[in-house]
């Protein structure tokens, strides 16, 4: 689970006056001298703030757009006013013809925009923008690795680097267009942590959705470190983001010419979308609707295949039985962090009144089949790990129970808990006790591994991975877990009754 390797959170900028130390709080004018001194202090503070803001605002009027990226790098988090993720929209959205604009202020990814006569040269990893004047003179040269984990040097070093060059138009005679496109291109990499479901969605599919939305599918995707299996895996989704054939940057040696190129992807936060940063106020629910639309044809096909294999009346009876009970899907892990008493969990869920399905996703499992199972479920249960990314396949207003092993509290909440709430799921976190961990039999009862996981995590990623991710399994205290499962059951029943009541009206 490489996503634990987390960047340091950016901090809110300092302000001159905050609500807790306002100069007028408790102001009592008992003596004229005291009032004058207070007023002088106040005037001094106001003057100091004015001077400070002047240093920030002056460059706004005398600096070109690319340089302004530094001004926006002091963004606020979700509770603030400005996000570092919004810099692309505010700095590079109005790029003049014949220029390159790069936003490097975000901690997550760099993005460059090239507008004009843009031509590819895969042989030397170059994208060239030809200007209306000059000969072979290079006006601008930028380097970029188009992947959304900028802060993580170890993985960024594995991503192919591109040279973005702006040259005089006469140089273009040496690089004729083999394929001329009349729509923009988006360049990105499917290298890095691709192969891990969390990273495929968080670092790839969601940023690709965010970046491509303004073009309404009138955009060409150009992929570095192209993988045929990735194209096959997401073949249902990609046509809903672009209506053009996808280009393998390394494999296609032809010179492709575009009127505009966006190199790199925009990313907002973990497995979510910030509507305020989207041109049409798109949210994570809009992304979920897109998934629904993408997988519906294949799901209908799967149902038709089943109807051919099963007697229609038997299928109808089976369907009616399913509709009477809320459905819970248990995502089973195939390696570490497995539920050791999974069979007893299944029986308990059935006794409560659930229809139970145990899902064991493999690398080769078709995503449409997983989507179908979760889209038709009322509750999803799973132990923290990349497979929890499948919560994106749940209908909003469904319930998601995440089992949180020792040492994974922060990551479970950050990567899956909070994003699930933003999608509209009822999130129920189940933090296990030391006695429910397989580590309980390996360490002394007073060992920090059991009693103080934070101190172990503070020693470094390698300790977290070795101890809590690779060597830990879970044996649920079913009496304790029963309370969470029962809560999810009553929630599902209430939602079902609510839907039925709505339909009757």
pLDDT on residue 47: 55
pLDDT of residue 256: 98
pLDDT, residue 29, reads: 36
Helix (H, G, I), strand (E, B) or coil at 334: coil
Q: So what's the pLDDT on residue 385?
A: 96
Q: What is the pLDDT of residue 76?
A: 29
pLDDT for 142 beyond 90: yes
Q: How far apart are CA 90 and CA 230, in angstroms?
A: 32
Q: Which residues pair with 401 in a beta bridge?
A: 381, 428
Residue 408: the pLDDT is: 98
What is the DSSP secondary-structure string of 386-419?
GGGGGGGGSPTT-EEEEEE-TT-HHHHIIIIIHH
The pLDDT of residue 162 is 98
Q: 10-14, 87-91, 330-334, 378-382: which range is least confident on average?
A: 10-14
In the numeric block, which tokens belong to residue 4? 């634990």
Q: What is the per-residue burial (b if ≥16 Cβ within 10 Å, else e) of 287-296?
A: bbebbeebbe
Number of Cβ within 10 Å of residue 56's Cβ equals: 11
Report the pLDDT averaged over residues 314-337: 78
* pLDDT category of residue 203 using cuts at 50, 70 and 90: very high
Quote the pLDDT of residue 41.
Answer: 47
Confidence band of 159 (pLDDT split at 50, 70, 90):
very high
> Residue 479's CB: how many other CB atoms inside 10 A?
8
Q: Which residue has the higher pLDDT, 182 or 28?
A: 182
How many angstroms separate the Cα of 72 from the Cα of each of 92, 138, 472?
Answer: 12, 28, 42
| pLDDT bracket for residue 93 (50, 70, 90) | confident
> Stretch 182-200: mean pLDDT, rounded?
97
* Per-residue pLDDT band at 320 (split at 50, 70, 90): low
pLDDT in tens, 205-225: 999 999 999 999 999 999 999
pLDDT mean over 385-405: 97
SS3 (DSSP) at 189: strand
Better-predicted residue by pLDDT, 314 or 18:
314
The pLDDT value given to residue 235: 97
Residue 133's pLDDT is 73
By mean pLDDT, which of 120-134, 241-255, 370-384 is the weakest?
A: 120-134
Decide if pLDDT at 168 tops 90. Answer: no
Contact 139, 170 (CB under 8 A): no
- Of 69-78, 82-91, 136-145, 331-340, which range is least confident? 69-78
SS3 of 433, please? coil
At residue 45 the predicted structure's pLDDT band, cuts being 50, 70 and 90, is: low
Chain segment 119-137, per-residue pLDDT in tens? 999 999 999 999 887 667 7
Residue 35: pLDDT band (50, 70, 90) is very low
Cα 73 to Cα 119: distance, rounded to the nearest angstrom: 30
Query: Does the pLDDT value for residue 395 go beyond 90?
Result: yes
- The overall average pLDDT reported for the chain is 83
Q: What is the pLDDT of residue 190?
A: 97
- Angle at 23 (CA atoms; ends 22, 26), nearest 5 degrees: 90
Q: How far are the Cα atoms of 71, 109, 131, 353 from residue 7, in angstroms, in the given order? A: 21, 12, 38, 43
How far, rounded to the nearest angstrom, does the alpha carbon of residue 221 sit from its chain's CA centroid?
19
SS (H, E, C) 88-143: HHHHCCCCCCCEEEEECCCCCCCEEEEEEEEEEEHHHCEEEEEECCCCCCEEEEEE
| First-to-last C-alpha distance (Å) of the chain | 47
H/E stretch holding 462: helix 461-463
* pLDDT reading at 8 higher than 60: no
Residue 411 scores a pLDDT above 90: yes
Q: What proportion of the chain, given as a percentage, has pLDDT over 70?
A: 76
Q: For the residues 34-57, what does the mean pLDDT come to?
A: 47
Tokens 């089949």 sit on residue = 369
Q: Is the pLDDT of residue 19 over 60?
A: no
Give the range among 30-34, 212-216, 451-455 with minimum mean pLDDT. 30-34
- Confidence at 279, pLDDT banded by 50, 70, 90: confident
Read off the pLDDT of each residue in 42-47 and give the average, rounded to a whole number. Answer: 51
With a CB cutoff of 8 Å and minimum separation 6, the contacts of 164 are: 100, 102, 112, 114, 126, 127, 129, 140, 141, 142, 143, 144, 263
Can you give 231-300 as a three-state secondary structure string? HHHCCCCHHHCCCCCCEECCCCCCCEEEEEEEECCCCCECCECCHHHCCCCCCHHHHHHHHHHHHHHHHH
Mean pLDDT, range 259-269, rounded to an integer? 97
- Residue corresponding to tokens 């936003």: 103
Specify the pLDDT at position 170. 72
Rounded CA separation 143/141 (Å): 7
At residue 315, the pLDDT reads: 56
Q: What's the CA gap between 142 and 112, in Å, rounded?
A: 9
Task: Please report which confidence band the pLDDT of residue 275 belongs to, taking 50, 70 and 90 as the band edges.
Answer: very high
Q: According to the model, what pLDDT value does residue 70 have?
A: 25
């Amino acid at each position: 689970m490489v996503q634990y390797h987390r960047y340091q959170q950016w901090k809110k900028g300092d302000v001159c006056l905050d609500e807790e130390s306002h100069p007028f709080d408790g102001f009592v004018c008992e003596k004229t001298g005291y009032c004058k001194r207070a007023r002088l202090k106040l005037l001094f503070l106001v003057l100091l703030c004015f001077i400070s803001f002047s240093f920030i605002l002056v460059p706004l009027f005398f600096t070109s757009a690319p340089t302004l990226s530094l001004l926006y790098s002091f963004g606020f988090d979700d509770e603030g006013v400005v996000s570092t993720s919004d810099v692309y929209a505010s700095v590079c959205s109005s790029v003049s013809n014949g220029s390159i604009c790069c936003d490097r202020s975000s901690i997550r990814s760099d993005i460059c925009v090239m507008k004009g006569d843009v031509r590819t040269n895969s042989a030397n990893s170059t994208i060239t923008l030809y200007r209306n004047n000059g000969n072979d003179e290079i006006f601008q040269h930028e380097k970029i690795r188009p992947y959304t984990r900028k802060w993580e040097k170890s993985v960024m070093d594995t991503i192919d680097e591109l040279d973005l060059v702006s040259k005089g138009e006469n140089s273009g005679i040496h690089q004729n267009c083999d394929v001329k496109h009349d729509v923009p291109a988006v360049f990105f990499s499917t290298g890095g942590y691709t192969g891990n479901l969390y990273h495929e969605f968080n670092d790839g599919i969601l940023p690709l959705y965010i970046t491509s939305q303004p073009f309404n599918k009138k955009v060409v995707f150009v992929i570095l470190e192209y993988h045929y299996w990735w194209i096959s895996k997401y073949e249902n989704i990609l046509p809903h983001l672009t209506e053009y054939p996808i280009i393998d940057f390394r494999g296609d040696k032809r010179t492709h010419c575009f009127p505009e190129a966006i190199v790199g992807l925009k990313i907002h936060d973990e497995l979510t979308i910030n509507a305020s940063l989207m041109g049409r106020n798109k949210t994570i629910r809009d992304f979920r609707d897109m998934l629904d639309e993408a997988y519906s044809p294949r799901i209908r096909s799967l149902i038709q295949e089943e109807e051919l294999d099963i007697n229609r009346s038997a299928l109808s009876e089976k369907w009616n039985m399913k509709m009477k009970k809320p459905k819970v899907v248990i995502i089973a892990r195939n390696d570490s962090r497995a539920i050791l008493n999974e069979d007893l969990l299944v029986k308990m869920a059935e006794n409560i009144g659930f229809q139970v399905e145990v899902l064991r996703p493999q690398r080769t499992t078709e995503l449409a089949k997983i989507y179908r199972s979760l889209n038709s479920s009322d509750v999803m249960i799973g132990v923290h790990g990349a497979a929890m990314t499948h919560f994106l396949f749940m209908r909003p207003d469904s319930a998601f129970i995440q089992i949180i092993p020792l040492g994974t509290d922060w990551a479970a909440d950050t990567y899956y808990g909070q994003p699930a709430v933003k999608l509209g799921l009822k999130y129920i976190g189940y933090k296990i006790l030391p006695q429910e961990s397989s580590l309980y039999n390996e360490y002394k009862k007073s060992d920090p591994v059991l009693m103080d996981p934070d101190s172990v995590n503070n020693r470094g990623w390698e300790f977290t991975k070795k101890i809590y991710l690779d060597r830990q399994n879970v044996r649920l205290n079913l009496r304790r877990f029963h309370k969470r499962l029962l809560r999810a059951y009553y929630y599902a029943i209430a939602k079902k009754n609510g839907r039925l009541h709505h339909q009757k009206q």
